[in-house]
């Protein structure tokens, strides 16, 4: 008889990771509003950016990639996410948010106890064109596990 094991919901894991490990550096980089939902860009602009910076954690369009190894019992799993940053404060604040998120993901890189994956990989940052006096950017983060065993049952 197979046992149930809940599938990790990566955007929620990443949201918790950011909230639990954020350092505001004496109020210089306060914790933004961290939201783990899949909303498109137009929906993100419905949020009020004047009160607080916002971070939207989403599944990347690539999503999960699985590569079979050997006899198809072992798999390499990559789960790709994007973090959308929005701030009305300044371009410097955008880069400060990026720096803190990079610090957290590198700090938690090998913490398998909280995320269920072998590796959290910071993959990069892209600053997007500013519109409506909102500075924005995207961070890419991947959760990876290699040689994961999946028993094949009938």
d(CA 120, CA 108): 7
pLDDT, tens digit (0-9, with 9 covering 90-100), for 123-138: 999 999 877 788 999 9
Whether the per-residue pLDDT at 44 is higher than 70: the answer is no
pTM (whole model) above 0.95: no
What lies within 8 Å, CB to CB, of 32 at 6+ separation is 52, 53, 54, 55, 85, 87, 97
Burial class (CB in 10 A: 0-12, 13-18, 19+), 135: buried
> Fold for domain 10-149?
STM4215-like (3.30.2000)
What SS3 class is residue 16? helix
């Amino acid at each position: 008889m197979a046992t149930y094991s809940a599938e990790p919901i990566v955007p929620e894991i990443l949201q918790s990771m950011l909230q639990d490990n954020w350092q505001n550096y004496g109020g210089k980089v306060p914790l933004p509003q961290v939201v783990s939902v899949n909303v498109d860009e137009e929906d993100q602009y419905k949020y009020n950016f004047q009160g607080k910076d916002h971070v939207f954690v989403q599944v990347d369009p690539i999503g999960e990639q699985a590569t079979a190894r050997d006899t198809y019992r072992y798999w390499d799993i990559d789960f790709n996410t994007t973090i959308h940053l929005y701030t009305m404060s300044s371009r410097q604040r955008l880069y400060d948010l990026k720096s803190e998120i990079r610090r957290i993901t590198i700090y938690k890189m090998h913490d398998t106890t909280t995320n269920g994956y072998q590796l959290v990989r910071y993959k990069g940052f892209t600053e997007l064109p500013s519109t409506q006096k909102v500075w924005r950017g995207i961070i890419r983060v991947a959760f990876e596990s290699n040689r994961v065993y999946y028993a094949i049952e009938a």
